Amino acid sequence: MIVKRIVIGVWVLAAVSVAVMAAHIYVVTAGADRKGSAFAMGKFVFEQELDTETGAMFSGVFKQQEGIKEVRVNQEAGFFICLYDQNKWSSEAIIQSVYDHFQVSAFRYHPSAEELASSCPAISKDSFIYRVGEFFENLFAKQ
């Protein structure tokens, strides 16, 4: 009797797992007609240094634009990260807006194939998460 309950429980658990996985796959792959917002995050690199005043004003100017949710400037490293709605903005439009507002040239950063192969470019190589990932990569990597 107890073995029968265990078998039924395992089958029910398997059936629920398959149903959840099927629903997840459907939701992820079925959204071809995206009429809502489609936010993207991009890294843009300044081609020249920003002065202190421009750096202080930069985020405020762009956050006021419709379709731009967040802007973070790293003035010392010479880049900014922008979270924007792709239905309203393109990379080229953001770059043009940077030039129009501040007369500063910028370009969209695209990581190289080597950077993408090594790890996520957003994770610091000194972080704990990177070290844990590197440990497991070395543990399971084919030597």
Reference 82, options 45, 56, 50, 44; nearest CA is 44
Which residue in the block uniquely carries the two structure tokens 């990581």? Answer: 111
Neighbours of 35 (CB within 10 A): 7
In percent, how much of the chain has pLDDT > 70? Answer: 86
CATH architecture of residue range(s) 39-108: 2-Layer Sandwich (3.30)
Q: Are 65 and 97 in contact (CB under 8 A)?
A: yes
Task: Report pLDDT for 12.
Answer: 92
In the predicted model, is pLDDT for residue 25 greater than 60? Answer: yes
Find the mean pLDDT for residues 99-113. 90
In the predicted model, is pLDDT for residue 72 greater than 60? Answer: yes
| Side-chain-side CA neighbours of residue 131 (13 Å) | 3
Neighbours of 111 (CB within 10 A): 13
